[in-house]
Structure 1
Amino acid sequence: MTKFFGNLHAVLLVGVVLTIAVIYGVGPNADSTQAALRWLHLFFGITWIGLLYYLNFVQVPTMPKVPAELKPGVTKYIAPSVLFFFRWGAAFTVLTGLLIAWHAGYIVQALSLDPHFRLIGIGMWLALIMAFNVWFVIWPNQKKVLGIVPAEDAVKAKAATTAMIFSRTNTLLSLAMLYCMVNFNGG
């Protein structure tokens, strides 16, 4: 048992197989594809927003308290891993969300903020803005901060501030985005 649970990839693989069995074996939905997409969207969304909140509620506020000799443990090992799952969680959350709307036939109405789909449309636009921030502002600046891309100290400091502002912007936007997502009743 210890060997199995000590292997995250094995645990995830068995979890995925179990979930597929539930979706296609006993799931209440007549449309198993839509159910699978919703499950993936939820999984990736929890990963993305969970890491967003971890970064903003735990890592960033705690870093000033970490002794200088211990900071490389975070910046060289923890932060790059967190940011990998953070940015790919964002990408796959948006992709599966768009696939759900397309598969259900309301993607155009949602993105054009048609009155019957306005709530989910606002949520989708907020998520798109947030994902853009992740890939085109936060990640490029974090690469400088973490030393993945060479940068002088002044550039690193400015990059850290920019990444923090956009990360906090995403935290702000996530609250309304989550409201829109959980309160959409399917049109």
Structure 2
Amino acid sequence: MICGTDEAGRGPLAGPVVAAAVILNPDDPITGITDSKKLSEKKRQKLNEEIKERALYWSIAQCDPAEIDEINILWASMLAMQRAIEALPIAPSLVLVDGNRVPKLSMPAKAIVGGDMQEECIGAASILAKVERDRQMLAWHEHYPQYEFARHKAYPTPLHLALLKEHGVSPIHRRSFAPVARLLK
């Protein structure tokens, strides 16, 4: 029972950091799994559904902007991954984590830099986390259309920075991130 875990949303200026944990079925391989950033949105959506249908177990968890501001984005990412792993209905025998750090866990874990391209279970978690975070940012776009979250998913693009300056800080912006913090001063 090897679990892969990854997060999405460390760099954006708003919204949660989302993590997923996935235990794939070795007897039912899924073709095309890789780092979510290497896939088109259409392919990510298709694989997201396939992973949810065919994986042995999966879960998604997150840390909201207030938690990110309180403990910083690195520890919020670790906490979101820990929550996703703990939400699985069984304890994995090993957890493979994308990156160079391992969240606090009660089972063996190994960090793998670039793991989302090397281990299918991590790639699967990458896809689930990215699709869920993008879905949430589309929902936030409906609440705060002036920020155009549907276009940039809250990443610090020139458009987002200009809209942030024009409209001020929303309730879902991360106040500890430099471009947002500067506007609050």
> TM class, shorter-chain normalised?
under 0.3
TM-score (norm 2): 0.24
Structure of greater Rg:
1
Q: Give the structure with the larger helix fraction.
A: 1
TM-score (norm 1): 0.24
